[in-house]
Amino acid sequence: MISSNDLRNGVTIELDNGIWSVVEFLHVKPGKGSAFVRTKLKNVETGNVVEKTFRAGEKIAKATVDKREMEYLYSEGEDYIFMDNESYEQIALSKAQIGDGIKYLKENTVVGILKHGERIIGVDMPNHMELEVTETAPGEKGNTAQGGSKPATLETGAVVNVPFFINIGDKIRVDTRTNEYLDRV
């Protein structure tokens, strides 16, 4: 158990039969009344975000989340096979367990598998991935006066908006959290 005064960004707690991560927190001490902690919590499994207020000093159950580095090997039907880099144990995960990061998943990518007890609750993708552009419209001369962007399909199937000078075969770096183009590699 931890006190609501100990809540910080990234702390995981058990609340309402779910595991939540603190995204934002604010300690408030009003002129009248008692202090409280206003938080924004994100469900680790579903990704839902809620705002919740706790009384100052209220006890909350802390969730223990273990993160293991695993390497993505291949897909087999609906399952995606990952290997633990230390014990060489292999596990199969579904699309639902992997979440939105699946559109950036390519072979030999090292990801963090999040576990609560023996249950897998999520996959922590790398923040940046280097991927090759497989399909995009050609950039036309004179079309770049205002900057702008065009959609590009990457080798994993993800679609990202890129600047006009990016062509098929270029390797680019993409932010997997925001689905944004960062730079050309």
Give the pLDDT confidence score for residue 141 in this predicted structure: 63
Backbone dihedral angles phi then psi of residue 30, each to the nearest 5 degrees = -70, 165
Structure token pair of residue 138: 């050609």
Which residues, in sequence order, are bridge partners of residue 45?
Answer: none
At 82 the three-state DSSP class reads strand
CATH class of 66-124: mainly beta
pLDDT in tens, 121-154: 888 888 899 999 999 888 766 655 566 788 999 9
Q: Model confidence over 99-119: pLDDT tens digits?
A: 788 888 888 999 998 888 888
128-184 belongs to which homologous superfamily?
Nucleic acid-binding proteins (2.40.50.140)
Q: What is each CA distance from 121 to 63, 84, 103, 146, 163, in whole angstroms? A: 12, 16, 18, 44, 36
Give me 101's structure tokens: 């990061």
CATH 2.40.50.140 positions along the chain are: 66-124, 128-184
DSSP state of 101: G
The pLDDT of residue 179 is above 60: yes
Q: What is the location of CATH 2.30.30.30 in the chain?
A: 2-62
